[in-house]
Structure 1
């Protein structure tokens, strides 16, 4: 670490008097990420608005300290975020890239800061403050200019071989394009709550087979049990077959309203060299859609670019194809396309609802030269439905990451 970097780490440690020991400083790291994001969503159904179209620039500075020496180690992380509007014409706001300005448009700029204290004992860590993590029961979204964060506490325990235990409590959520923490609500269910508790474990039964069981409760709204099972079968050099099974059972918590949902998902993927071909099935049962914290990411096999295919009684199928051009000697270039079709959706008194979505992603990350670590990704989606929106969407994302130390 250079003297300049050591000074920056010392500044990060200044909020913890007496704790800036060698490991705290020498194990610290920092990085900056730049995101240039163009978003265009055309609404195709009769009577809808024309489009949502915006272009914005984002900056993310991540600072992570090491831990102080001793049996109990202390540390601190910081995430600073800035977003700037580059273009947003009259009537085209609402892409999720920028905060609303109160008059139908978007703000010219916004910023937010996330601070996290952390404690480590043996192979276990406790983080308190701003959180951005993923799990089967709750996951933060990062599909716009700046990532979403939670406020709360996260415990990760890895004291037994092949077993990971995770749990915690969340009391607020800060959306991608928001500068304020707000209470949480349930997607399609409603209500508000300032307490989500969760816990679970994933156990690697064999090197190829992993099972998980997780529980979450959004106080006074819903509670949910989630079981997972994944297996990777090696079929020889460059070949494999992956099985991903998921089942969730959700019911009400408190007296907000009755909730009844059971969600099953299965995804099977065959890989050969740079190719991967997948097929998935998802089924919703019960009187309600699949509940999850609004604006976060649900752990569903058919949660894709726009839709989650988790409406009441919905059945959905997916076919997917991926190709990694590294197999052709072009590392950094990737391609993905998929098609999802859903039917049997309860709409009014019948189950005649149907929808489909098609996604295509093409991405390239420069591997060397002056543009090394510059990523370019084009994401395209088409959605058609007889009960919801008809959409054509394009996202163009340029990203650049640089480790400062």
Structure 2
């Protein structure tokens, strides 16, 4: 229990600036914060059934915010309501292990095709619930979970959940009902069919609001030394669960050719059905190939394409330095006036992790994005994020 315990304190400094090009109200979001993320993962007690406990302590400190620039998602704030000087939360997770099966109950961060808690701001999003993962059979991972509350990345409160109704996706709760649920559950897993092919399936259900089947095939074709072709195919079928109008089919494909430090990717995503794609509200990560820095390109009937390029400078003798840029364009969805909606986004990431010296393992990342559309002036933005992080190992 003691010998296998791991603990680390991540120091995360985050500056966020979003310039609204046409919003008649708020002209920009600008906030700056310092985060402290303490993660403790114990080992297991001896015996057939091993027991352990994990802890997650989160502390945020405001370095800059104002009433006119608040609401970035970095901290508990909104336009007209400046963030507090500091905020914090604490969560415990009990766990038990039998052979290659682990059960966890308490504060959790999920990452699978059914649900992905976000970690793209100062502090991560967490959920309250339970999860069991089993790897008893070689190549097969089984995964089941349940949650009844969610703590968003800019909050300290555990709240009930809702389905995302934003954009032109056309999702709404039925008349006389509310867009709220305290019951989210999922069941699924992945199987490594061959060393190059992995198949995944998940079923998920946000009680009363939607149920969803998600399928995924990932194949990596090795061509030669330092050269490969990766194919990522995704399909989801979402339907209402009694109190909403959810009806969506989401098809996605991403093909990436890698050569030495270069990667070239092409993606396609298509929505069909009576609504857009359904997933949990509150900036939870959807499992879509064209979910990027600002947009998800998941409006009703929308079709979108992505072109992406990555370069790892380690291939030319500069380890730790990486670069990514991508362009996504979407159309074929309906604006409020009945005409065709269109949108596009361009992203760029540059990151560097120091490899030696006093700053070894310090990570610096700059994320830049530009997004434009013809259906909502308030979401035409230019955005910059600067993140500096360093993890201190404690155990």
Q: Same fold (TM over 0.5)?
A: yes
Partner of 2:162: helix, strand, or coil? strand
- After superposition, what is the alpha-carbon deviation per residue over 1:141-167, rounded to whole angstroms, capped at 9, x for unaligned? 000000000110011010111000001
- 1:18 is aligned to none
Q: Does 1:392 find its partner at 2:369?
A: no
- 2:274 is aligned to 287
Q: Is the 8 A contact 1:101 1:107 kept in 2?
A: no
Give me the CA root mean square deviation: 1.2
Q: Give, in whole Å, the separation in 1 of the partners of 2:48 and 2:18.
A: 53
Report deviation, 1:103: 5.5
Q: Give, in whole Å, the separation in 1 of the partners of 2:210 and 2:140.
A: 27
TM-score by length of 2: 0.95
- 1:10 is aligned to none
Report deviation, 1:349: 6.0
Q: Give, in whole Å, the separation in 1 of the partners of 2:211 and 2:86.
A: 37
Moved more, 73-82 or 340-349: 340-349
Q: Does 1:404 find its partner at 2:394?
A: yes
Q: Give, in whole Å, the separation in 1 of the partners of 2:221 and 2:236.
A: 25
- After superposition, what is the alpha-carbon deviation per residue over 1:276-298, rounded to whole angstroms, capped at 9, x for unaligned? 00000000001111000112100
Report deviation, 1:362: 0.2
Q: Is the 8 A contact 2:341 2:374 kept in 1?
A: yes
1:111-150 to structure 2, matched below 5 A, reads 111-150=88-127
TM-score by length of 1: 0.92
- 2:175 is aligned to none
Report deviation, 1:116: 0.3
Q: Give, in whole Å, the separation in 1 of the partners of 2:67 and 2:219.
A: 50
Q: Is the 8 A contact 2:42 2:54 kept in 1?
A: yes
Structure 2 CA distance for partners of 1:114 and 1:349, relative to 1, 3 Å: same
Pick one of 266, 271, 280 that aligns with 2:258. 271
Pick one of 241, 244, 247 that aligns with 1:260. 247
Q: Is the 8 A contact 1:373 1:402 kept in 2?
A: no
Report deviation, 1:346: 2.0
Report deviation, 1:177: 1.2
Q: Give, in whole Å, the separation in 2 of the partners of 1:186 and 1:101.
A: 21
Q: Does 1:184 find its partner at 2:161?
A: yes
- 2:38 is aligned to 61
- 1:3 is aligned to none
1:200-219 to structure 2, matched below 5 A, reads 200-219=188-207
1:3-402 to structure 2, matched below 5 A, reads 24-45=1-22, 47-100=24-77, 104-188=81-165, 189=171, 191-254=179-242, 256-295=243-282, 296-348=284-336, 350=338, 352-388=340-376, 389-402=379-392
Q: Give, in whole Å, the separation in 1 of the partners of 2:36 and 2:74.
A: 13
- After superposition, what is the alpha-carbon deviation per residue over 1:319-356, rounded to whole angstroms, capped at 9, x for unaligned? 00000000011110000000000001122363500000
Q: Give, in whole Å, the separation in 1 of the partners of 2:107 and 2:130.
A: 8
Partner of 1:372: helix, strand, or coil? coil
Q: Is the 8 A contact 2:67 2:78 kept in 1?
A: no
Q: Give, in whole Å, the separation in 2 of the partners of 1:154 and 1:318.
A: 34
Structure 2 CA distance for partners of 1:43 and 1:158, relative to 1, 3 Å: same
Report deviation, 1:101: 7.6
Q: Is the 8 A contact 1:344 1:351 kept in 2?
A: no
Q: Give, in whole Å, the separation in 2 of the partners of 1:344 and 1:60.
A: 42
Report deviation, 1:107: 1.2
Q: Give, in whole Å, the separation in 2 of the partners of 1:348 and 1:31.
A: 49
- After superposition, what is the alpha-carbon deviation per residue over 1:183-206, rounded to whole angstroms, capped at 9, x for unaligned? 000011451000011000101100
Partner of 1:214: helix, strand, or coil? strand
**Aligned positions, number:** 381
Q: Is the 8 A contact 1:363 1:375 kept in 2?
A: yes
Q: Give, in whole Å, the separation in 1 of the partners of 2:29 and 2:162.
A: 24
- 1:21 is aligned to none
Report deviation, 1:90: 3.6
Q: Is the 8 A contact 1:130 1:149 kept in 2?
A: yes
